[in-house]
Structure 1
Amino acid sequence: MIDPRRLRVLRAVADHRTVTAAAAALYLTPSAVSQQLAALEQETGHALLTRSGRGVRLTAAGDILLGHTHEVLAQLERAEAELAAYAGGTAGEVTVAAFATGIAEVLAPAIEQLAGAHPGIRVRVRDAEGDESLPLVLGGQADLAVAVEYRGAPREDDPRLSRVPLYAEPFDVVLPAAHPLAPAERVALAELADSEWIGPYPGNPCHDVIQLACELAGFQPRLAHSSDDFRAVVALAGAGAGVALVPRSALRGMELKGTAVRPVAGPAATRRVFAAVRRGAADHPLIRPLLDALSLAAGGLSTG
């Protein structure tokens, strides 16, 4: 009989490619992970991992078992959801990992709505960048993520996750007020090819969106200043340090002194925001009301 707890360990190793990284994600020691994997190989009668450089990769048998692992763990999530529903489980805690603007735009309004409709559900929020929240859900440290599309993100058909689209928003160009293009109603990104840029660090999902938008406009942006805080990005633009692309919602209520904010002429860079839970958990009686509240909060957001 295969122990499903060991299947979680196998999936973590497949996701992180090293025993050490998988152990950190599972809050276990590397030796404990190695012991669980050895026991799983004994249970199955097959070698499941092989060394690859400094990490590990699954064998053919490991790949077969991983495919079943996604189904087994999703079914266990469904079983927990049905048992909770049977028990009338409308009281408990849900941990949500979300990026700062997502918290302000949809999560905070959803929590407010939930407090009136489902007062027994408590939401605990973890501030996490868009690329950090999904690993937290997959690793069991969060129940739900409010995340953004980024290069390398799990695909929509990923067997580990269920996704709910929330909203999409454009990025606007932020220019120094004295910039020659500041009087324009709209700004084509190609016109900024020779400018110095201000933007998030590589690894931030917004960095990927900006990079791709500039590449589609025919150039690589010359990043002169880096910050993951859009208030700092806008302040630097206002000081004449460069130009930037900033998500429209991040600009709301922000001090824009010394800047000109303009929409993009032509195809705009767009941030697509979604909620994600482990596959099989979407109908859990603590999670479904929150997903519905998030969708309701996102319904009033402008996408253009």
Structure 2
Amino acid sequence: MFDSRHLRTFHEVVVTGSYSAAARELGYTQPAITQQMKALEREVGVPLFTRAGRGLRLTEAGETLARHAEEILEGLRTAQQQLGALARLRAGRVRVCAFPSANATLIPAAMARLQAEHPGIRVELLEAEPPESIQRLLRGECDITLAFSYPGADAEVPPEVQVTPLMEDQLTVLLPLGHPLARRQAVRISDLAEERWIAGCPRCRANLLQVCSDQGFAPDVVFTTDDNLAVQSLVAAGVGIALMPALVLSFMCHAKVTGRLAEPHVRRQVSAYVLRDHLRVPATGLVLDELVRAAASRVGC
């Protein structure tokens, strides 16, 4: 492996044609240039220069190295510039994996502010429900994961992962607009024992079963899907009702569907998960900060 300092000096000797001229350009003494070139020749294993009168002539090895030296040094300059940009938050790529309703709500708000203030940072957006999204973080497939958990069902988080709570998301009952209970501001879960239900992802389905069990009944689940738009369409068509997070209400697409607060209140915790080592990357920390701000702006909505 060549010493980059020796390579820069070699390139200057080639360009200027002598040790003394290179010394003047670089601000070194001539003996210092001589010592560096001897050290480089030891690294290469063969002479790089021969004397031609008072001047220098490149050996075959010297010509070979000269052809590559400028390209190598330009690559180093480019790398230094890019690393400097990363350190100053002018550039960087951050991979974020989130569940669908976060991708439709928290992510757009955070990314709009990020793009306005730090346009050089690029975010690659992935989608997965927990616990798969957290596994993707542990496998190194993303830098930040947004995931949710329900009371009493928190999964153990490895010590190398930092968890940043973002917000609590109130659960709501999704009803067809003409449903008799749609006139209420809030709906008791116990009043829905005879309803047919649309269940969501495995974690949400498990929560639905637990909530209903706590109210003394087992829900009649007639359809299961983790597609929020599909759930809305099924509710609108009268196939069943659903227990959905309030985040979903902000992108409700069906005029024939309405959401009502569930009683007793049930909230899921939305958090950001980051490998602790990744927090040392400035761009990752910045994206996390923007996600925290986006979640804070939704509290109380």
Q: Report the TM range for the smaller structure's normalisation.
A: 0.5 to 0.7
Post-superposition shift, 1:303? 4.6
Which TM-score applies when normalising by structure 1? Answer: 0.64
2:209 corresponds to: 211
Q: How does 1:48-59 map to 2 (within 5 A)?
A: none
Report the secondary structure of 1:288's partner residue.
helix
Judged with a 3 Å threshold, the aligned counterparts in structure 2 of structure 1 residues 191 and 111 are, in CA distance, closer, same or farther, namely same
Distance in 1 (CA, whole Å) between partners of 2:84 and 2:277 is 13
Kept in 2: contact 1:209–1:270 (CA 8 A): no
Query: Does 2:273 match 1:272?
Result: no
Report the secondary structure of 2:278's partner residue.
coil
Structure 1 residue identity aligned to 2:132: E
Kept in 2: contact 1:92–1:121 (CA 8 A): yes
Report the secondary structure of 1:228's partner residue.
coil
Query: Does 2:104 match 1:88?
Result: no
Post-superposition shift, 1:192? 0.8
Kept in 2: contact 1:100–1:129 (CA 8 A): yes
Q: Which of structures 1 and 2 has the bigger CA Rg? A: 2
Judged with a 3 Å threshold, the aligned counterparts in structure 2 of structure 1 residues 192 and 119 are, in CA distance, closer, same or farther, namely same
Query: Does 2:278 match 1:281?
Result: yes
1:179 corresponds to: 179
Judged with a 3 Å threshold, the aligned counterparts in structure 2 of structure 1 residues 130 and 303 are, in CA distance, closer, same or farther, namely farther
Distance in 2 (CA, whole Å) between partners of 1:111 and 1:221 is 38
Q: How does 1:147-186 map to 2 (within 5 A)?
A: 147-149=147-149, 154-155=155-156, 158-186=158-186
Kept in 1: contact 2:104–2:251 (CA 8 A): no
Unaligned segments of structure 2, at least 5 residues: 1-82
2:246 corresponds to: 248
Query: Does 2:108 match 1:108?
Result: yes
2:295 corresponds to: 298
How large is the Cα RMSD of the aligned pairs?
A: 2.5
Kept in 1: contact 2:278–2:284 (CA 8 A): yes
Kept in 1: contact 2:174–2:260 (CA 8 A): yes
Structure 2 residue identity aligned to 1:137: L
Q: Identity across aligned pairs (percent)? A: 32
Kept in 2: contact 1:131–1:153 (CA 8 A): no
Distance in 2 (CA, whole Å) between partners of 1:242 and 1:296 is 36
Which TM-score applies when normalising by structure 2? Answer: 0.65
Judged with a 3 Å threshold, the aligned counterparts in structure 2 of structure 1 residues 136 and 85 are, in CA distance, closer, same or farther, namely farther
What is the CA deviation profile of residues 119-173 of structure 1, one whole-angstrom value per residue up to 9, with x for unaligned ones? Answer: 33211111222322111110011111111115865435x3131011111111211
Structure 1 residue identity aligned to 2:174: V
Unaligned segments of structure 1, at least 5 residues: 1-83
Report the secondary structure of 2:137's partner residue.
helix
